[in-house]
C-alpha cells in the first residue's frame, strides 16, 4: 500500500511525507497522501506567517533605530548649543 502512495507523491512532497510519517507514525494509514498534503499546506502557511512576522519585526527595528538616532542627534545638538 505504501508503495502506491509514494508513487502518487509529487517530486517535492517526499520530504513532507517523510516529516509527516515521522510525526505521526502513519505507516499503514489509508489517507496518508491526503494527510501528508494537509501537513504540507499547514507547514507552508506557518512558514509564510513566520516570514511576514520576521519582515514586520525587521522593518519596525529599522524604524526604531532611525528614531533613536534622530533623538540622539537632537540631544547632541541641544547639549552642544548649551556649552558653546
pLDDT at 81 over 90: no
pLDDT at 4: 46
Would you place residue 21 in the very low, low, confident or very high pLDDT band (cuts 50, 70, 90)?
A: low
pLDDT at 3 over 50: no
Identify the CA nearest to 26 among candidates 9, 45, 10. 9
Q: For all residues of the chain together, what is the average pLDDT?
A: 77
Amino acid at each position: 500500500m505504501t508503495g502506491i502512495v509514494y508513487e502518487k507523491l509529487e517530486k517535492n512532497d517526499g520530504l513532507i511525507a517523510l516529516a509527516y510519517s515521522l510525526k505521526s507514525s502513519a505507516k499503514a494509514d489509508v489517507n496518508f497522501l491526503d494527510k501528508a498534503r494537509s501537513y504540507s499546506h499547514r507547514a507552508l502557511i506557518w512558514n509564510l506567517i513566520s516570514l511576514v512576522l520576521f519582515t514586520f519585526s525587521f522593518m519596525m527595528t529599522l524604524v526604531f533605530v532611525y528614531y533613536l538616532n534622530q533623538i540622539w542627534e537632537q540631544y547632541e545638538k541641544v547639549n552642544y548649543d548649551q556649552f558653546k
